[in-house]
Structure 1
Amino acid sequence: MTIGAIGLMGIAALLILLMLRIPVAFAMFLVGFLGIWHLNGWNAAMGLLASETFTLASNPELVIIPLFILMGNVATVTGMSRQLYDAAYAVIGQVRGGLASATVIGCGGFAALSGSSVASALTMGKVSLREMDRFDYDPRLSTGVVAAGGTLGILIPPSTGFVIYAILTEQSIGRLFLAGVLPGLLLLSAFILTITIMCWVRPAFGPAGPRTTIDEKSRKLLGALPILVVILLTIGGIYAGLFSPTEAAGVGAGLVILYGIVTRTLTVRAFWEASKDSIVTTATVMLILIAAHMINPFLALSHIPTVVGEFLAGLEAGKIGTLVVILFVYLVLGCFLEGFAMLVLTLPIFFPVIVDLGIDPIWFGVLVVLTLEMGLISPPVGINVFIVKSVAPKVELGTIFRGVLPFWLAMIATLAVLIAFPQISLILPNTMFN
């Protein structure tokens, strides 16, 4: 059996394990370890397992993951996410579809704290679905906007997806965070435009909410000021060069905890639960990263990246054509695989091709992460759709999928704009580092 055939068998085995719902980390550990054992022997497999685990676990840059996760969890228990939604609700809730637009804005703000799409969809679903139901919003719009708005969590920094991409490709976390800002705002605007068009075509989809006075608007906006300050200090501090992404995570987590203590909204029990959830999530991410460093050498030894690179070069599709083909593969895989699994499985194969073509790896990272977002609302997996289903059990799953379709098309349009105009992604990181 040839080395290439062994590599293909390993990929097939990994896909089968993932479809059988074996946890991503364990599936990659198994395939990577057995593959290296077969190709290079037992000692090589054991040595790689020991060295890669220690090297990755001792990487100081990874401290950013638990700190940003803790910041998002504490923001949830202290009610900061609800305050942002209330502020957006007070300002634009009285226009047609305003509650849905406020939900998108709330998702975007919460995404800038938590970095988690699932957490954004779950939190904003609990906050906003009841309000939209109270004002007779069509379930397709209300559930669709929560599922789609939650996807902003993986694009608007801080993003766990960007951190994992940076670790796997040895890129700058700070550059990736800044590269996600304008595309994230562009996608948020595209979602709001989609809501506006839907409610203009079918007014019954999103009836206008109650009007609020100037005093009520001012009070709600003042209540959202703490979360806006935290976002500006963390992301703005990175851009201004005041601190590194890791330091920004520490500053953000510290400010959110301090806010909870000062306002007495953070109890000891709530902080313990938030910390425990942060540890569990961090451990999951770390296991996936360590497992990725087991399977990547196996793929390299089996020459799979070289074979794929030669195949894509043989298409003679040019730089943009090859990029579109790769993103299409991500789009298809997103219908079946979880986002992090796709990253660790495909980046060792596609990234060398991207480098050879001279495509900016930061720009490619933004495009890949946006494509991963689309997988969060694509059937049959659509993790965010199932999250919204758990919050709104009376709504049929098919109704939610129909509701996310217009937003899925908005994401396609945004992806096309980012491909056509790379500077939207690159202007902030290039300004900062040049």
Structure 2
Amino acid sequence: MSSFALGVWGMVALFGLLALRVPVAFAMFAVGFTGIAILNGFSSATSTLASEAFTLAASAELVVVPLFILMGNVATETGMSRKLYDAAYAMIGSVRGGLASATVIGCGGFAALSGSSVASALTMGKVSLAEMDRFNYSPRLSTGVVAAGGTLGILIPPSTGFVIYAILTQESIGRLFLAGVLPGLLLLTMFVLTVSLLCWINPAMGPAGPKTSLSEKAKAMMGATPILMVIALTIGGIYGGIFSPVEAAAVGAGLVILFGAAMGKLTLRGFWSAARSSVVTTAAVMLILIAAHMLNPFLALSHIPQVMGEFLAGLSLPPLGILAVILLCYLVLGCFLEGFAMLVLSMPIFFPVITSLGIDPIWFGVLVVLTLEMGLISPPVGLNVFIVKSVAPNVPLSDIFRGVFPFWLAMLVTLALLVAFPQIALILPNTMIQ
């Protein structure tokens, strides 16, 4: 059997294991280790495992993952994320669809803390769904906006999606974080406009909430001040070149802990819970990365990336045409694969093609992360949809998928804008980091 045929069978086996619900990390490890052992010998497979695991574990850049996750978990334990939602609600909750728009803004703010779409959807779902139900919002709109708003967690920096993309492609984490700022704000704006449009078409979907006085608005904003300060300092520090991403993560996590303790909201039990959850999530991310670095050498030995590159080059399409084909592949794969699994599986195949075409890898990273977000609300997998379902068990899954569809279209429009105008993503990293 040729190395290429073995590679194809390896990918078939991988998708088969994923279909059997074998955890992503273990499936990739099994296929990668076995493939390297067959093609290059057992000793080569064991040495690759040892070297890659040690290299990743010793990588200073990966420290941002547990620190940003800890920052988000502590913010949840101390109620800071709820304060962020309360501030957004006080400002715009009295307009038609205002609660839904406040949820989107709250998701965007929490995304700037946690970097996790699942955490954003789960946290904001617990905070906002009961409020929207109390004011007779359509279940389709309320659950759809939480599922879609949660996807902002892997686009608005700090983003675990950008960190993993940077590790897989050796690109700058700082440049990727800066590149995600304007696209993240653009997508947040598109979601708010989508809510407004839906409520204009059918006012019953999002009735106006009670008006708040200026003093109530000021009180809500004061409550959100600590968390807004943390967001401004961490993201602003990276933007201004004061902090590296690792330093910003450490400063952010430290400040959230200090604010929580100073306000009397962070107990030892709460801190232990946040720390334990952060360790579990970080371990899962590290396992996936180690497994990905086992699979990548196997794919290289089987020449699958080379053959794929030659195939795409043979299509006689311009670079933007090939980019469109690749993004279409991501949109289709997103219907069946979890986002991080899709990222680690596809980068060894598509990234060499992108670099050979002269496409900016930072811009490509933003486009890829946005398509990963679309996968989070695409049937039949739609991880964020199932997260929201767990918070709103009385809402049929079909209604949640119908609710997210307008927001999926808004994401598609945003993707088209980013393809048409690359500078939306590139202006900040090109001007702030030389």
Q: TM-score, normalised by structure 2?
A: 1.00
Q: Distance in 2 between matches of 1:64 and 1:146?
A: 26
What do residues 100-119 of structure 1 show as CA deviations (whole Å, max 9, x unaligned)? Answer: 00000000000000000000
State the match for 1:112 in structure 2. Answer: 112
What percent identity do the matched residue pairs reach?
Answer: 76
Q: Distance in 1 between matches of 2:59 and 2:101?
A: 40
What is the one-letter code of the residue matched to 1:82? R
Deviation at 1:374, TM superposition (A): 0.4
SS of the residue aligned with 1:15?
helix
Q: Distance in 1 between matches of 2:118 and 2:257?
A: 22
What do residues 124-157 of structure 1 show as CA deviations (whole Å, max 9, x unaligned)? Answer: 0000000000000001100000000000001000
1:20 aligned onto 2:32? no
What pairs up with 1:34-73 in 2 under 5 angstroms?
34-73=34-73
What is the one-letter code of the residue matched to 1:188? L
What is the one-letter code of the residue matched to 2:323? L
State the match for 1:433 in structure 2. Answer: 433
Q: Distance in 1 between matches of 2:213 and 2:68?
A: 36
What is the one-letter code of the residue matched to 1:313? A
Deviation at 1:19, TM superposition (A): 1.1
Deviation at 1:394, TM superposition (A): 0.4
What is the one-letter code of the residue matched to 1:423? Q
State the match for 1:33 in structure 2. Answer: 33
Q: Distance in 2 between matches of 1:411 and 1:358?
A: 25
State the match for 1:140 in structure 2. Answer: 140
Deviation at 1:317, TM superposition (A): 1.4
State the match for 1:100 in structure 2. Answer: 100
Q: Distance in 2 between matches of 1:75 and 1:408?
A: 28
State the match for 1:295 in structure 2. Answer: 295
Deviation at 1:246, TM superposition (A): 0.2
What do residues 367-393 of structure 1 show as CA deviations (whole Å, max 9, x unaligned)? Answer: 000000000000000000001101000
What is the one-letter code of the residue matched to 1:117? S
What is the one-letter code of the residue matched to 1:135? F
Deviation at 1:222, TM superposition (A): 1.2
Deviation at 1:433, TM superposition (A): 1.2
What pairs up with 1:342-421 in 2 under 5 angstroms?
342-421=342-421
Q: Distance in 2 between matches of 1:234 and 1:16?
A: 42
State the match for 2:184 in structure 1. Answer: 184
Task: Name segments (4+ residues, structure 1) moved above 6 Å.
Answer: none
State the match for 2:253 in structure 1. Answer: 253
State the match for 1:89 in structure 2. Answer: 89
Q: Distance in 2 between matches of 1:170 and 1:244?
A: 16
Q: Distance in 2 between matches of 1:291 and 1:237?
A: 33
What is the one-letter code of the residue matched to 1:84? L
State the match for 1:314 in structure 2. Answer: 314
Deviation at 1:50, TM superposition (A): 0.8
Deviation at 1:243, TM superposition (A): 1.2
The number of residues matched between the two structures is 434
What do residues 382-420 of structure 1 show as CA deviations (whole Å, max 9, x unaligned)? Answer: 000001101000000000000000000000000000000
Deviation at 1:187, TM superposition (A): 0.1
Q: Which runs of 5+ in 2 are unaligned?
A: none
Q: Distance in 2 between matches of 1:387 and 1:153?
A: 14
What do residues 336-361 of structure 1 show as CA deviations (whole Å, max 9, x unaligned)? Answer: 00011001100000000000000000
What is the one-letter code of the residue matched to 1:119? A
What is the one-letter code of the residue matched to 1:206? G
Q: Distance in 1 between matches of 2:224 and 2:430?
A: 31
What is the one-letter code of the residue matched to 2:351? F
Q: Distance in 2 between matches of 1:317 and 1:112?
A: 38
Q: Distance in 2 between matches of 1:45 and 1:212?
A: 64
State the match for 2:327 in structure 1. Answer: 327
Q: Which runs of 5+ in 1 are unaligned?
A: none
What pairs up with 1:206-285 in 2 under 5 angstroms?
206-285=206-285
What do residues 300-328 of structure 1 show as CA deviations (whole Å, max 9, x unaligned)? Answer: 00000000001101111111110010011
SS of the residue aligned with 2:335?
coil
Q: Distance in 2 between matches of 1:46 and 1:218?
A: 60
